[in-house]
Chains A and B, each alone.
Chain A
């Protein structure tokens, strides 16, 4: 009987968990299988709810590309130590995150940011918790399950 209950519990929680995560905002917009590292200069920061946006200009042999990187709420960023004084235009940063599902940068390159590394080497979580983003260890408050 115990085994039967375990199987039922597994099916219920397994299926319902999948349902919740399958429809989450992160998976609707971003590809968890397309991690990306963006190194470039901050050109614009939008401190708006519900997500702050950091525009990063990447320069390579093909020219300049601006990536729009979605962060957590402004309050979340501030709590993590990312403020208007630390994230200023002109700063070179490295953002680790995930590309949008449309990877062709049309009409623009968009990514979901997980953490940001500043010129002094400090790395700070810049994403959102509990939004369906991969539990990749970027969020120090979230247990790493993957």
Chain B
């Protein structure tokens, strides 16, 4: 019974530490909220279709300014991989960094698609980007506000 009490104390101490660590990760939260989310939205909102009874509308950018916004988003995503991998931010050196580097690849692919003005490829990259996000969030989750 004493052992159980000892382990319970250890458990609650570690839980408190975990909670504090999560709250301290507001840097990651901000990086997601102010850099990665808007960058991903720029890619997601620039590829795809809207179908109504009036017809089908392609969401691809119609001018250079629109493609430049996609390029900006793509570059933010690829460079954010380094920001996420900084030693004081990386939760571990294996999976965390692997997911971060996967983001880099997504950003680079999106940039190439935008440079070629290839909306079909951009649509595929958008889908793959989301899979990277989901896979990472299923393992790591930063506390929401």
Residues of A within 8 A of B (CB): 1, 4, 7-8, 11-12, 15-16, 19-20, 23-24, 28, 43-50, 73-75, 84, 88-90, 130-131
Residues of B within 8 A of A (CB): 3-4, 7-8, 11, 15, 18, 40, 43-45, 47-53, 56, 59, 123, 126-127, 129-130, 133-134, 138, 141, 143-144
Q: Please give 17 more A-B residue pairs, beta carbons under 8 A apart, in addition to A12-B11, A89-B51.
A: A1-B3, A4-B3, A7-B7, A23-B141, A45-B51, A46-B51, A47-B50, A48-B44, A48-B45, A48-B47, A48-B48, A48-B50, A49-B126, A49-B127, A50-B126, A88-B51, A89-B52
Asked if A90 meets B53 with Cβ closer than 8 Å, knowing A12-B11, A49-B123, A50-B130, the reply is yes
Complex: how many Å from CA A20 to CA B123?
29
**Complex partner residue of A28 from B18, B49, B123, B144, CB under 8 angstroms:** B144
Complex: how many Å from CA A90 to CA B43?
29
DSSP class of A's interface residues: helix, strand, loop or mixed? mixed
Chain A residue nearest to B56 (CB atoms) is: A84
Q: Hey, which chain B residues are within 8 Å of A48, CB to CB?
A: 44-45, 47-50, 59
Complex: how many Å from CA A21 to CA B141?
10
**Complex partner residue of B138 from A19, A43, A90, A130, CB under 8 angstroms:** A130
Q: Hey, which chain A residues are within 8 Å of B7, CB to CB?
A: 4, 7-8
